[in-house]
Amino acid sequence: MKRRDFITLLGGAAAAPMLAPFAARAQQAGKLPTIGFLGAATPSAWGHWVPAFVQRLHELGWIEGKTIAIEYRWAEGRPERFAEMATEFVRLKVDVIVTSGTAVLAAKQATSVIPIVFAVASDPVGSGMVASLSRPGSNVTGMSIQAPELAGKRLGLLREVLPGLRQLAILTNAGYPAAVLEMGEVEATARTLGIEIAKLEIRRADDIAPAFEALKGGADALYICTDPLINANRIRINTLALAARLPTMAGFREFVEAGALMSYGTNFADLFRRAGDLVDKILHGTKPADIPVEQPTKFDLVINLITAKALGLTIPHNLYQPA
């Protein structure tokens, strides 16, 4: 299947829905097959993604509360909680664990028996989640977003909106390996374009405001390397960026809905939906080791027109293709 790109223009910052079905809760699963869903961020941060996963399960005949049970746990952007939540799922004897990013490693450390499906992972081979994309070789499989060229694509799009871009700040969680890897890719691309880099490295939510204060106007735009911590604090980040009049580029549309200028990246809702297919295969007896890791096929460019207007920016006509 060929990769597809979609362009969306937002007239404002839409709030992600807070859906009751995936609030953290303890339910008695009884004899129903049970999914342990470990969310790295918050229910609102994943407001578009979890419904896509649940809807796909429904289409495949798995109806929550009737033919399947789902135990939701939310780490709220705190990686130190991954291990205890994964251990809890092992204690509950769930049939499959669904999660993302570095939470996969915590789940893998907690069990080598229970199947683990990652809906999103930046570098599943390099991080040790799987042996290879074609042959995972363990109890883990899922959806990879490994695409180094995306950093260059994002910078290219940002320069189309900001032709005079000379100084770029990069906001990164220095404790998140995939974000650090992305930061390196952005730096390498920026060097080829003659763009100077200012690193804003954080490790906790309390570091965000001081990082912006340290910048002191020394950038033309802000590139956001997304991870669970930054995702959970995206509204705060966008508020600070707008106050500093910094155009922002992020990796997925939820940041634009929270006020960022632009995003370009994998359609996460599609990945979560496809993760439902992998869970279905596992619940029907297929071993994760025999299910190849899949890669993205849909990519979105999303632009917030109200933010562009507030920053006094004109969006080039070649990007102006409303969905």
CB 263 within 8 A of CB 302: yes
- Domains, the chain: 16-146+268-297 (3.40.50.2300), 149-266+302-319 (3.40.50.2300)
β-strand pairing of 262-266 with 248-250: parallel
CB 226 within 8 A of CB 255: yes
pLDDT band at 2 (very low <50, low <70, confident <90, very high): very low
Output phi, psi for 86, to 5 deg.
Answer: -65, -40
Give the pLDDT of residue 126. 82
Measured between alpha carbons, how far is 39 from 23 in angstroms, rounded to an integer? 11
**Torsion on CA atoms 310, 311, 314, 320, rounded to nearest 10:** -70
CB 198 within 8 A of CB 170: yes
Is the pTM value of this prediction over 0.85?
A: no
Averaged pLDDT score across all residues of the chain = 88
Output phi, psi for 41, to 5 deg.
Answer: -110, -130
Give the pLDDT of residue 320. 65
Of the candidates 246, 178, 262, the residue with the CA atom closest to the CA atom of residue 213: 246
Give the pLDDT of residue 25. 40
pLDDT tens, position by position, 30-41 = 579 999 999 988
Measured between alpha carbons, how far is 312 from 315 in angstroms, rounded to an integer? 10
pLDDT band at 177 (very low <50, low <70, confident <90, very high): confident
Give the pLDDT of residue 10. 66
Q: Quote the tokens at residue 53.
A: 């996963």
- When computed from its CA atoms, the radius of gyration of the chain, rounded to whole angstroms, is 20
CA distance to 14, 309, 312, per residue, from 315 (Å) = 20, 9, 10
**Span 143-159, mean pLDDT?**
85
Q: Indicate the SS3 state at residue 255.
A: helix
Residues 6+ apart with CB under 8 A from 303: 7, 8, 9, 10, 256, 261, 262, 315, 319
Q: Quote the tokens at residue 5.
A: 């790109």
Where are any strands of DSSP class E within the chain?
4-10, 34-39, 69-74, 96-100, 116-121, 140-144, 167-173, 196-202, 221-224, 248-250, 262-266, 298-304
pLDDT tens, position by position, 263-297 = 999 898 999 999 999 999 999 999 999 999 999 98
Angle, nearest 10°, between helix axes 149-161 and 177-193? 50
CB contact burial 19-43 (16+ within 10 A = b; e otherwise): eeebeeeeeebeebbbbbbbbbbbb
**Span 308-315, mean pLDDT?**
94
pLDDT at 8 exceeding the cut of 90: no
Give the pLDDT of residue 191. 92
